[in-house]
Chains A and B, each alone.
Chain A
Amino acid sequence: NAGVTQTPKFQVLKTGQSMTLQCAQDMNHNSMYWYRQDPGMGLRLIYYSASEGTTDKGEVPNGYNVSRLNKREFSLRLESAAPSQTSVYFCASSEDRNYGYTFGSGTRLTVV
């Protein structure tokens, strides 16, 4: 099925550990995004990539880095995880904002 695929679906990290969340889309979209969702909140933009080779900070970028590996893949890295980064992370992609955005199924991350 066409869409946005995220891995892993669940992850538990210890404080200070690092990890990379993977995201891939097969819809040939130019733009890709990473959001986080905390309880009782809407989603907040961490980083985005308007096209292959470009990335920009969103609303809450501190503690994260991203890589747009190619047109399909956009990864999110936590270099030194903190409990405040416990959240559900969603990747999304879009070709044209007039048609909206497609979200992945999410990665539930717990930092202990």
Chain B
Amino acid sequence: ELKVEQNPLFLSMQEGKNYTIYCNYSTTSDRLYWYRQDPGKSLESLFVLLSNGAVKQEGRLMASLDTKARLSTLHITAAVHDLSATYFCAVDRGYGGSQGNLIFGKGTKLSVKP
């Protein structure tokens, strides 16, 4: 059974600091996604990681994927208050010949304080 674990689940940061969110998954998968969710809002796609060694960056966020270690990281550089949100990773289960069988982590609630 595919399980996805994120840590930490809660993260309080000061503005200007760096931190990393970790996403571990239990079985082989070749696709991993990162989403952002603001309170009461929908999920916003941040990154789609498709292969071992993939690295993508957008602004202060950088995501990477190591399929051998079954690990993805979301690194936050010089955090600002606007990054406060809940971040989810999701792994594509990929069975049944269909897309969208995503298994989500429980999310990391990030709070950036001045």
Residue B97 CB within 8 A of the other chain: yes
Interface residues on B, range: 20 to 34
Find out whether the CB atom of B43 lies under 8 angstroms from the CB atom of A97: no
Contacts known (A44-B104, A100-B33); A56 close to B45, Cβ less than 8 A: no
B50 partner residues in chain A, CB cutoff 8 A: 98
In whole angstroms, what is the CA distance A35 to B102 when docked? 10
Find out whether the CB atom of A101 lies under 8 angstroms from the CB atom of B98: no
Residue A22 CB within 8 A of the other chain: no
Residues of A62-108 whose CB lies within 8 A of B: 90, 92, 94, 96-106
Distance from B14 Cβ to chain A, minimum over Cβ atoms (Å): 25
Find out whether the CB atom of A103 lies under 8 angstroms from the CB atom of B42: yes
Find out whether the CB atom of B100 lies under 8 angstroms from the CB atom of A31: yes
> Which of B88, B98, B104 contacts A48, CB < 8 Å?
B98
Residue B75 CB within 8 A of the other chain: no
In whole angstroms, what is the CA distance A97 to B95 when docked? 13
Residue B114 CB within 8 A of the other chain: no
User: Which of A31, A40, A100 has the most B CB atoms < 10 Å from its CB?
Assistant: A100
Find out whether the CB atom of B106 lies under 8 angstroms from the CB atom of A97: no
Residue A61 CB within 8 A of the other chain: no
Residue A53 CB within 8 A of the other chain: no
Find out whether the CB atom of A99 lies under 8 angstroms from the CB atom of B43: no
- Interface residues, chain A, CB within 8 Å of chain B? 31, 33, 40-45, 48, 50, 56, 58-59, 90, 92, 94, 96-106
Inter-chain pairs besides A41-B106, A50-B97, A90-B43, 10 sampled, C-beta below 8 Å: A41-B104, A42-B90, A42-B105, A42-B106, A44-B104, A45-B102, A99-B48, A101-B100, A105-B42, A106-B42
For the complex of A and B, the 3 pairs showing the least CB-CB separation, nearest first, are A42-B104, A97-B99, A50-B98
